[in-house]
Structure 1
Amino acid sequence: MTAHNNMDKHFETLDDFLGTHFIYTYDNGWEYEWYARNDHTVDYRIHGGMVAGRWVTDQKAFINMLTPGIYKVAWTEPTGTDVALDFVPNEHKLNGTIFFPKWVQDKPEITVTYQNLHIDRMHAAREKYETYPKLVVPEFATITYMADAGQDNSDVIAQAPYAGMPDDIRNGQFYDENYKMIKRPAK
């Protein structure tokens, strides 16, 4: 099994960033996994925090390089949650601000699923429950894993998160040498 973690990778261009798979932990302890699928789409899994267990693929996003090696990514989810991430991967840091609608703060369990199969449910909750005041969570994070998975790799975020998954990924036990998911029994 091949370990892909390349914490020494140097980022300069937008192409350096696209296709990169990250795991990071916010200072508040929430652990996220995030993949720059291409120049307009992101995938992610949430391993810690109030919506741990949530995962999403093909989320449309705005992805820009602010200056060499520094990237801004922003999107609005079907839940009404807004996300803005500033990646500084050469320093293994990012700053994220998540703007949770009141209903997500009050009923986070509704969102803890593979969102892509439940878009109508997210829209219905967004319409049924209160959206304001939003819970604003601004946090710094430390990047603990960076790997070049290639763009549009559907194996990067392809199953629900499980306890220990980030460690399996960091330890090289989740993807093969071609960055394809290693098949194994569900945990």
Structure 2
Amino acid sequence: MAKTFKTLDDFLGTHFIYTYDNGWEYEWYAKNDHTVDYRIHGGMVAGRWVTGQEANIVMLTDGIYKVDWTEPTGTDVALVFLPNEGKMHGTIFFPKWVQDHPEITVTYQNDHIDLMEESREKYDTYPKMVVPEFAKITYVGDAGQNNEDVISEAPYDGIVDDIREGRYFDANYKRVKK
């Protein structure tokens, strides 16, 4: 997709796939001005997916956006998107318990909020594992805001290829039925 980002409205409703320099691959959607959805395809919590995550989303200057949030796990995330340059920078602050027990989080978080909160209280949260990484944006899709089809199922092997190669969404950015 050849799109120039200038305003906050240009960013909202955009679906990204990016790969961090450490090899971790993420899929992320700016659902609206206060909510994000995402799936994780690589790294220590690959297989995790979340919808309806409340976030702070701002435009720092034309075409540069900052997004941050705290998850029920206690993980803090700060992302800076430079989509016109095809790159972003993310810093993830994993609590010690997530580093020690990542498998607990590898699920659809929305169905297991109680487990995330219970684990946050049960296990050590400090010291945090800080992961600051640059990433290359490998896909940009104009999904529109509040599109429930963007992140609507668990990640599977090959999903990011299906998305990038046009097999996952139809012309209206709706999920192609299998």
Q: Normalising to structure 1: TM-score of the pair?
A: 0.95
- Give the Cα–Cα distance (whole angstroms) in 1 for the partners of residues 167 and 5 of structure 2: 25
Partner of 2:93: 99
SS in 2 for 1:180: coil
Letter in 2 for 1:174: Y
Letter in 1 for 2:130: V
- Consecutive unaligned residues of structure 2, counting only runs of 5 or more, are none
Deviation at 1:171, TM superposition (A): 0.1
Aligned residue-pair number: 178
Q: Where has structure 1 moved over 6 Å in runs of 4 or more?
A: none
- Give the Cα–Cα distance (whole angstroms) in 2 for the partners of residues 124 and 181 of structure 1: 34
Partner of 2:157: 163
The higher-RCO structure (CA 8 Å, 6+ apart) is 1
2:62 is aligned with 1:62: no
2:114 is aligned with 1:120: yes
Letter in 2 for 1:103: W
- Consecutive unaligned residues of structure 1, counting only runs of 5 or more, are 1-5
Which of residues 178, 181, 185 in structure 1 aligns to 2:175? 181
1:6-155 matches, within 5 Å, as: 6=1, 8-155=2-149
Letter in 2 for 1:125: S
Deviation at 1:133, TM superposition (A): 0.2
- Give the Cα–Cα distance (whole angstroms) in 1 for the partners of residues 165 and 119 of structure 2: 38
- Give the Cα–Cα distance (whole angstroms) in 1 for the partners of residues 108 and 26 of structure 2: 15
SS in 2 for 1:146: strand
- Give the Cα–Cα distance (whole angstroms) in 2 for the partners of residues 142 and 164 of structure 1: 19
- Give the Cα–Cα distance (whole angstroms) in 2 for the partners of residues 68 and 147 of structure 1: 19
What is the CA deviation profile of residues 87-113 of structure 1, one whole-angstrom value per residue up to 9, with x for unaligned ones? Answer: 000000000000000000000000000
Per mean C-alpha deviation after superposition, the further-off stretch among 39-48 and 175-184 is 175-184
- Give the Cα–Cα distance (whole angstroms) in 1 for the partners of residues 147 and 161 of structure 2: 20
What is the CA deviation profile of residues 93-148 of structure 1, one whole-angstrom value per residue up to 9, with x for unaligned ones? Answer: 00000000000000000000000000000000000000000000000000000011
